[in-house]
Every structure is written in structure tokens, then in C-alpha cells.
Structure 1
Amino acid sequence: MECSGAESFQMPSCGSVSGAEEEPALPPDQLRSLYREISGVPPVYDRLILMVIDGLPAEFVLGRGGKPPIREMMESMPYTQSLLAGCKAVGYHAKAAPPTVTMPRLKAMVSGAIGGFLDVAFNFNTQAFVEDNLLDQLHMIGSKLVMLGDETWIKLFPTLFYRQDGVSSFYVRDTIEVDLNVSRHLEFELAAKDWSALILHYLGLDHAGHIGGRQSILMTQKMKEMDDVIRRVHAASILDKMDKTLLVVVSDHGMTEGGNHGGSSYEETDSLALFIGHSAERSDCSPYDQNEVLQVKSGLFALRIQAE
């Protein structure tokens, strides 16, 4: 009988049986090669970049009810809109389950676990995540992971990342340094060849919402900044002809008109899942169709195709 949950999950091990001398672990590169050899499935992508734009409502990028976003939002993300219009990206309204706060949403995206409202309390005192999840599975097969941004990731996975630089999510008056602290590493990380998955978690747009709501004068500025990050990442993946990179842009939740979140309203659960990579390109598309998925499925899909 199969079980799941914290009480049944054990980290995979290649060591010997109990009582015998433990065998040394294989280096990550050898683990990754061994996994691919055993699986017999050629990888669709070599690397994954998961970009989390905290609090970004999907309708700011994909519109609502089959209609494109309002002009102000369209003009705030010209590069992203050009990818959608050119059928080089595919976007989904990824419905997030309540509670729509960061920590349980991240856990859901990497594990498929649906949290409860007790997680709202844990959001302020995040503990290491011990349930089975795809980040741990990637690590187990030799993938090196790098994380930049919201330190919630580091609290959930304190020993997982090959490199990390975290920022606190609770200084909500800060809409500048929290994002500059991520982007200052971009040039180095996009040129580096030693990682398989890169997580970028930007907090500034969520903070702008908390300060002034959806109509904050800071909102379009933050969207332009995020659009430039997408442009830089996409350009780097195009220039590196030998590297097949999947860029997945997601939001953990949306926000109400006042910039709040946590509940189950459409505005709070309307999160984004945007896929940019060779398998997402097509000859014909309707970028503003109301394509809907569950957030847990979109996040797990992105991580699975990196592992396979």
C-alpha cells in the first residue's frame, strides 16, 4: 500500500543497507548522467528558470473574459506581450487555492499538497518542508539549484540550494531593494553553466499592491521592471544555442482591489502561469483566450519536464 505525507516520506538513498558500511555519494554530474541513462527519456529542456512575480494577477498579463488587458497594463509589459502575440509563449490563468499567501502556495506548486488556513500562521514562522516534492527530487538526481529572492524558499529548503541569496518578504514598504537584490545577480547566473534550475522570486510588485492597491502608481513601474527581466532571461537563453532553457513565469497569488490577499475571491486566486520555451512556440494562437488550469498542476508540470 502506498502512502504519502510527512510521516511516510524518506529521502532517496543510494547507500548500503543498515549495518553495512555506507557507500560514498556520487558527484552531482554523475548522478544526473546515471538518472538520464536509466530513465531512457531524453530531456525536453536542459535547464529551468522559475521566475515568481509575487502577487501578480494573471489578468494584468492575459486579460479577462477573452479580452486583452487594459492598455496601461499592455504597455507596461511590451516584451512579454510581444511573445504572447507572436505565439512564442503560452499563458494560463492558474487558479490558486486558498489561503492565498506565499508559503502555502509555494509548497503547493512544488509538491501538489493543498494547505489549510493553519498555514497562514506558519507563513510567519516557516519550517523546513519535509514532504515529498520535486525540488528535493531534482536535487537527488544531481541537479544543482540556485535561489535568489524571497527567503521563504530558504526556510522551506534550508540545505537544498547550491547558491542562494534571500531577502525578507515582510518589509512591505520596500519595493526597490527587494528586487534589485535579485536582479544584481542576473548577469552572473545567466552566464553560469553550473546550475540546472534557477529560482527568481521578486517581491516588489506585491509590496506595491500592499502600499497602494491595484491602482498604485508603483504598479506599472514594477511591471515594466519585471518585463525587462523576462526580456533579459529570454535573450540569454536564445543566445546560448547549445542550451535548451524553459522559462516559467508564475505568480503565487493575485490581489484584491486594495492590494490584499489571503482569501478565495477571483482577484486573489487569479495567478499567472506563463511558459516560454521552444515547446511553447506554435504557428497559430489566441493569446487572450481564458485558458485556465489549477496552480498546483502548472507548477508541477514545469518542474516535471525539467526532471525528465
Structure 2
Amino acid sequence: MAGRPLSCGRLATLTFAAVLLQIIGLLLFVFGFFPVNPALPGISGAESYRMPTCDDSFETDNGNLLPEQLGSLYRDMSQIPSTFDRIILMVIDGLPAEFLIGRGDQPSQNSMWEAMPYTHSLLSKQRAIAYHAKAAPPTVTMPRLKAMVSGAIGGFLDVAFNFNTQAFLDDNLLDHFYRIGWKLIMFGDNTWTKLFPSLFTRDDGVSSFYVKDTVEVDFNVSRHLEAELAASDWKLMILHYLGVDHVGHIGGRHSLLMAPKLKEMDDVIKMIHIHSSLNGDDHGRRMLLVVVSDHGMTESGNHGGSSYEETDSLAVFIDLQSQSPIYAPSMRREVFQKCCYYHT
């Protein structure tokens, strides 16, 4: 027996219910897979320069202070002496931490020791300390750089923004450095100049998207080193090397190009360390070299996801003026990337 035909009203109700369910499902997907991570409005001011207390009556007007005065205010109010006066942030794009410090209880492979002998010697002599700095997905460059300088939590929508980077307006360390009078310079991946278009006194950016270039992208960084290491006007120098990442995209982790490229990075670390050890600083300033990676890579050299290989980034800290062991062996070799840099 044939079923009773649907009335127009019942058909309209079922259609409306089906469309509503589809809209709800689409919204759940969008807000679940592309979550919005709102930041608190505004920037931290002089009230954040002091040590935490229970006194909420602190007020100051720092709107008319010069950068040098803000820097002096920070030193006076924080009551925390500066350990280092200048910083070199060397970003080796795509370098997995296990290349340098192994995985779990296993040391790095012999081929990695042979590729980066100087850096390994600094670690073994306790003149440097290294960590697995766990990166949060998406493991692509732009959101990882934002996390390093601000503690920001990335979302998968940042994968699309990675191809058209906009100026970063949230509260971050580089803006604060600039505000208290630091001179910042940058050489390498032009993502930095897109995120911070007006902060750098000197910069030379290169595109990160021509992945077949494994030579010029790094030469364009290193060619500035000799002059900049001799200069005394900057306080933070950013060096962002792209060659390791590009080698991975071309041939994977075990590409024949990987060992020579790692040796090139090791030679850069050696050059910076030896130059600082021999020449020191005429003004008695101590310099810190921080060698980091923004993300790791899979066996095929890709990244973007949440696998161990992709999130296993590196953080190495080297006191460039120290001539003796200063770092005790660390019992905790894993940190979160955004916390590691933001609170250092």
C-alpha cells in the first residue's frame, strides 16, 4: 500500500530542519577546526616592569617618556639585574631537535655529530644547553614565530595566512625591545619584516617560498655576519636560515644535501662563538646566542601537522663570553616552544 504523500507544511518543516542541521554541523566544524584565539587588547606598560606585588595602587604615566627613559625605568623598577646585554637569535628553519640532542634516551646519530661537531662539542663541554622545544600545530613558520615572540596560540587558519603574512599587532617582545630603545636588525626569512615592518634598523629579507634554493637563501644571511658582529649599535640580531627546511622539502631528512647544510650551520655557530670569544666587547657587555628552529620535519621533509617529527623543534642557549662550563646537565630536556622563548 502506497504511503501517504507529505503535505506542503510537513515537507517545509523537514527541509528547514535538514538545512538547520547542516548549518549547525558546518559551524561546529569551522569553530572547532579554525578556532579564533582572541588576544587581550592593548599592550603591557610600565606596570609590568615591576616585580609582582599585592599593591594595586601603582600608577605611572609613561606616554611621554623617551625610549632610553623607559629602558631605565624598566631596570630600576624590575629590580632584576640583566644577565645579558645583547642577543643573537639564530633560527634554523625546519631543524629537528633530535638531529642535535637525540630522541628520548637515545643520543643523536653519528652522522649528526659529524655534521655539527662544534655545536656538539659545546654541549658536551657544558658550555651550551639544549632543549626539545615542543611546537604546537600548525607547524609552519609564521604562527611559530608569533608564538616565540608573544606566546600566541596558533590556529589552522594561520596556514592560509602564512602565504600572505600581515603585520602582527598583538603585544610581543620585539615591540617592547623597540619601545625601550633597543636597535633590532634582521637577516633572512622576510616573514619577520612582514610581521614587524617598522622595527628593524637594518634588514635584508629573502623569500621562503622558493624551496629549490638551498644556497643563496643562507648566503644572503651569512654575508652580513662579519660586519654586524663588529658593529656595536644593535641589541638584538635575528638570523633566519632557510636552507635546512628547503633541503628537507627537496629530498627529505636523509637527503645527500642535509649533512653539508648542517655543517654550514655549525660553521656559522662556530664563527659567532669564536669571534665573540676572541674579540669580546669593548663595553664589557655579555652576549647570548640562542639557536632555535621553528618546527621539525617528517621523513619526507614536510611539516604543518602535529606528529612528533614536525613538532620537535630545537632551543640551544650559548653564553658567548664564557670560557668555562657554566650549564649544569639538564634533567628536563623538554619545554613548550612558546613558553621557552617568551619567558627567557
**Which TM bucket (shorter chain)?**
0.7 to 0.9
Q: Quick one: which of 316, 319, 327 aligns to 1:274?
A: 316
List gaps (5 residues or longer) in structure 2: 1-36, 47-62
Deviation for aligned residue 1:290: 6.9
TM-score by length of 2: 0.79
Letter in 1 for 2:326: R
2:329 paired with 1:285: yes
Deviation for aligned residue 1:234: 1.4
Q: Quick one: which of 25, 47, 58 aligns to 2:97?
A: 58
- The structure whose Rg is larger is 2
Q: Which residue pairs with 1:265 in the alignment?
A: 307
TM-score by length of 1: 0.88
List gaps (5 residues or longer) in structure 1: 14-22, 303-308
Deviation for aligned residue 1:33: 3.5
1:132/1:143 CA distance change after superposition, 3 Å: same
Distance of 2:163 and 2:104 partners within structure 1: 35
1:149/1:280 CA distance change after superposition, 3 Å: farther
2:121 paired with 1:82: yes
Task: Give the aligned CA root-mean-square deviation in angstroms.
Answer: 2.3
Letter in 1 for 2:267: D
Deviation for aligned residue 1:35: 3.2
Distance of 1:55 and 1:252 partners within structure 2: 6
Structure 1, 276-285 or 75-84: larger mean CA deviation? 276-285
Question: Secondary structure, in 3 states, of the residue corresponding to 1:72?
Answer: helix
Per-residue CA distance 1:57-98 (angstroms, 9 max, x = gap): 000000112221111111100100000000111100111000
Verify the 8 A CA contact 2:128 2:327 in the aligned structure 1.
no
Verify the 8 A CA contact 2:133 2:315 in the aligned structure 1.
yes
Identity %: 64
Runs of 4 or more above 6 Å deviation: none
Deviation for aligned residue 1:169: 0.2
Letter in 1 for 2:342: L
Distance of 1:206 and 1:124 partners within structure 2: 16
Letter in 1 for 2:280: D
2:280 paired with 1:240: yes
Superposition map of 1:158-197 within 5 A? 158-197=197-236
Structure 1, 121-130 or 29-38: larger mean CA deviation? 29-38
Deviation for aligned residue 1:110: 0.6
Per-residue CA distance 1:275-302 (angstroms, 9 max, x = gap): 111599437537xx77100011111133
Count of residue correspondences: 288
Deviation for aligned residue 1:30: 4.9
Verify the 8 A CA contact 2:129 2:327 in the aligned structure 1.
no
Distance of 2:72 and 2:39 partners within structure 1: 29
Verify the 8 A CA contact 1:261 1:268 in the aligned structure 2.
yes
